[in-house]
Amino acid sequence: MMKKILLLFSLFYYAIAILAQVPAGYYASASGKSGKNLKTALHHIISQHEERTYKELWTDFQKTDSRMDGKVWDMYSNSTNYIFFTDQNTGQYKKEGDNYNREHSFPKSWFHDEYPMYTDLFHLIPTDSYVNGMRGNLPFGETASPVYTSSNGFSQSGMSSLPGYSGKVFEPNDEYKGDFARIYFYMATCYEDKIAGWDCDMLDHSSYPAYKDWAVTMLLRWAKEDPVSQKEIDRNNAVYEIQENRNPYVDYPGLEQYVWGEKITQIFDPDNYEGITGVMPSSSLQDPFERVSVMGLDGRVFRSGVFQSEALQGLPAGFYIVDGKKMIVCP
């Protein structure tokens, strides 16, 4: 069901499948598949891609992770304003805000520093060096008792509060949990033939489902609660221009449900896809990079300090106040 967002008195309808600019016939060979077989079909489509050098990533990031103001889009910290190249890590940093580096959001130690995973742009992102270091190679998760919190409480780490796992985890901000979930679905799909040999508490040493039950449950929920954003669409297209492959979980929002979730018995048809979610493109906003607060009509704060372009994504149907402006999300 496409989500409709009414901003003041204007109603916007957007289908992500149209915005994603999927090349004609790109996913044709996955048509008619479901579950494990669908994942394998997608693997054959996206696994052959251009391999980058580690040095090239610095330049690539300017194309894939540039904010509207031209600065680095940092998904681990919301207090940074890094300038590309000028502020890149040269090996020295002491605190959050010093510089940015090349983060393997799917830690490289898990796949033993091997290529082509080592430089796959779909999971390589520019992040604050200090916050990156505080994460280390911790698995993603959720914690109710953080032992580390980044500036403004944006990211945190601590012992897992999720059922099924009790180890230490790194919890990204709600704003990007869906982004990371779709990155992880991509990694399990693109490297289906390799992932069984990787080591991490999230992985079950199989090609399918690839992740342990607790991780699958969490990632599916993250993807649903934080649907595909315009940022992800733009990034998917930018990476495609460089690597010549795509993330199908961005091209077809909700596709993970056909592979791991509640639609696992349903047939995937790329030309008649059910499960599209709507987004509000950055172009429809006066300043989509402005940080705003989201409140209910009863004064309850739902979100604080989020980008205007993603303020309402994943919220249930109802009325909201976004920086004094009344908005409604309809199912």
DSSP per residue, 38-102: HHHHHHHHHS--PPPPTTHHHHHHHHHSB-TTSSB--SS-SS--PPTTTTB--S---STTS-EEE
Which pLDDT score, from 0 to 100, does residue 232 have? Answer: 94
Beta-bridge mates of residue 321: 295, 326
* Every domain of the chain and the residues it spans: 20-277
Which pLDDT score, from 0 to 100, does residue 16 have? Answer: 38
Q: How far is 99 from 254, CA to CA, in rounded Å?
A: 35
- Determine contact, residues 254/264, Cβ cutoff 8 Å: no
Residue 161 to residues 14, 151, 204, Cα–Cα distance (Å): 36, 22, 20
- Determine contact, residues 117/191, Cβ cutoff 8 Å: yes
pTM summary value = 0.80
What pLDDT, in 10s, does the model give residues 206-241?
999 999 999 999 999 999 999 988 899 999 999 999
- Determine contact, residues 76/136, Cβ cutoff 8 Å: no
Q: What is the percent of the chain where pLDDT is above 90?
A: 71
The alpha helices in 120-202, defined as continuous H runs, are: 129-135, 174-190
Residue 327 to residues 14, 28, 189, 294, 310, Cα–Cα distance (Å): 17, 38, 37, 10, 13
Task: Copy the structure tokens of residue 78.
Answer: 């919301």
Query: How does 90-101 read in b/e, with b if 16+ C-beta sit within 10 Å?
Result: eeebeebbebbb
Which pLDDT score, from 0 to 100, does residue 3 have? Answer: 32
Q: What is the DSSP letter of 145?
A: E
Mean pLDDT of 291-299: 73
- Pick the more confident residue, 211 or 300: 211
Which pLDDT score, from 0 to 100, does residue 306 have? Answer: 84
Mean pLDDT of 299-307: 81
SS3 116: coil
Q: What is the DSSP letter of 28?
A: G
- Residue from 139, 27, 16, 126 nearest 71 by CA: 126
Half-sphere exposure of 231 (CA within 13 A, CB side): 25
Mean pLDDT of 51-55: 97
Residue 301: CB atoms within 10 Å: 10
- Determine contact, residues 6/328, Cβ cutoff 8 Å: yes
Q: How far is 61 from 65, CA to CA, in rounded Å?
A: 5
Which pLDDT score, from 0 to 100, does residue 321 have? Answer: 73
Quote the mean pLDDT of the chain. 87
What pLDDT, in 10s, does the model give residues 166-215?
999 999 999 999 999 999 999 999 999 999 999 999 999 999 999 999 99
